């Protein structure tokens, strides 16, 4: 028995999860932390080297923008972490924790982007990543505009960039491009050949501001619309609107406030997601809690997260 070699692994590396058991003996998937899906080219090269050395023949691009190293032997955990370069490329999480935030490309190069989702994703990742919820996973996503490629409302907290437009009639040259571009039909050309704006159909996409050749349309308000309580999986829920035009620099504090409510209200309810907790408590309770901290951005009323009829399995 004396020649049996004891495998040593730094268990601190496993604290936040991100090492996921595979089918094969001794093999794990290592999920990397890629907030907002942005990856510098030197990091990408480093990952490719580590994957080639320790992993299988391919990596997997996860649905939530991670690169996952496949077929990693658990005995190599320490070497993988070290060779990824601890400061440059960290491992992600799994389990009942705040996950790595997803984001679209944002506004630096994407012409549709209204807000800097990449910056928000990095901030949330830095401040809240890996926080244990005590109950279940907790997902956050940032969409830069109402086209919402990241599907923000399917997250526990989903942010969607929005702009409320205002018109300076004097600067308008009556070209009609705003009305032409307004897909929801919130802008029509009036009898004086100037745009007429109606509030209700507007989805706050800011297309009128972007297309306006003279700057007659400009931003009156800009920020995030926040939907809460979404999830996908076995019993999907679509999150509902709790805040509008939340300033970008309040995103972290907002999520922390939701988390605090979730931790407390889900106590004793077992492995339950935020959306189901809201259905149990009623959305008004969370709305009131958020209103104490963010009074100017919280909507007057909302509805509970909405169930999707998947037609397979009737919720008990």
Partner 1 sequence: MQTIDLRGISCPTNFVKAKLALEDLEVGETALILLDDGEPVKNVPRSLKADGHKIVALKQSDDGHYVLELEKGEE
Of 163 and 228, CB closest to partner 1: 163
Strand 306-307 to 237-238 pairing: antiparallel
Query: Which CA distances in Å does 66 have to 36, 77, 153, 161, 307?
Result: 9, 18, 20, 23, 28
The residue whose two tokens read 């601890």 is 86
CB of 86 to partner 1, least distance (A): 41
Contact between 145 and 183 under an 8 Å Cβ cutoff? The reply is no
Of 203 and 211, CB closest to partner 1: 211
CB of 176 to partner 1, least distance (A): 6
Residue ranges that bind partner 1, judged by CB under 8 A: 111, 173, 175-177, 180-181, 210-211, 213-214
CB of 199 to partner 1, least distance (A): 22
Of 181 and 306, CB closest to partner 1: 181
Rg (CA), the chain: 23
Of 14 and 189, CB closest to partner 1: 189
Q: What is the 3-state composition of the chain as percent helix, strand, coil, each rounded to the nearest 5?
A: 30, 25, 45
List beta partners, residue 131. none
Of 174 and 264, CB closest to partner 1: 174
CB of 180 to partner 1, least distance (A): 6
Query: Which CA distances in Å does 51 have to 28, 64, 86, 94, 114?
Result: 12, 19, 15, 20, 36
CB of 111 to partner 1, least distance (A): 7
């Amino acid at each position: 028995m004396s020649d049996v070699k004891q495998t040593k692994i730094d268990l601190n590396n496993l604290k936040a999860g991100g090492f996921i058991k595979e089918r094969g003996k001794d093999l794990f998937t290592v999920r990397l932390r890629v907030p907002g899906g942005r990856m510098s080219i030197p990091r990408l090269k480093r990952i490719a080297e580590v994957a080639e050395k320790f992993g299988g023949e391919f990596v997997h691009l996860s649905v939530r923008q991670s690169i996952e190293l496949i077929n990693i032997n658990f005995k190599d955990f320490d070497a993988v972490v070290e060779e990824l370069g601890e400061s440059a490329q960290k491992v992600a999480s799994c389990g009942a924790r705040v996950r790595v935030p997803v984001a679209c490309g944002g506004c630096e190069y994407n012409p549709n982007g209204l807000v800097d989702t990449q910056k928000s994703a990095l901030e949330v990742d830095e401040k809240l990543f890996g926080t244990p919820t005590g109950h279940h996973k907790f997902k956050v996503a940032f969409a830069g505009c109402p086209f919402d490629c990241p599907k923000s409302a399917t997250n526990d907290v989903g942010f969607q960039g929005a702009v409320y437009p205002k018109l300076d009639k004097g600067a308008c040259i009556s070209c009609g491009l705003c009305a032409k571009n307004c897909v929801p039909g919130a802008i029509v050309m009036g009898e004086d050949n100037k745009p007429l704006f109606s509030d209700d159909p507007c989805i706050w996409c800011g297309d009128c501001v972007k297309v306006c050749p003279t700057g007659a349309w400009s931003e009156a308000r800009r920020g995030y619309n926040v939907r809460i309580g979404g999830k996908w999986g076995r019993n999907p829920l679509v999150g509902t609107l709790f805040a509008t035009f939340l300033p970008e620099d309040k995103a972290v504090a907002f999520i922390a406030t939701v988390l605090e409510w979730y931790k407390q209200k889900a106590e004793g309810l077992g492995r339950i997601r935020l959306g189901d907790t809201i259905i149990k408590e009623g959305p008004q309770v969370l709305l009131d809690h958020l209103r104490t901290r963010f009074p100017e951005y919280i909507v007057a009323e909302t509805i509970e997260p909405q169930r999707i009829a998947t037609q397979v399995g009737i919720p008990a």
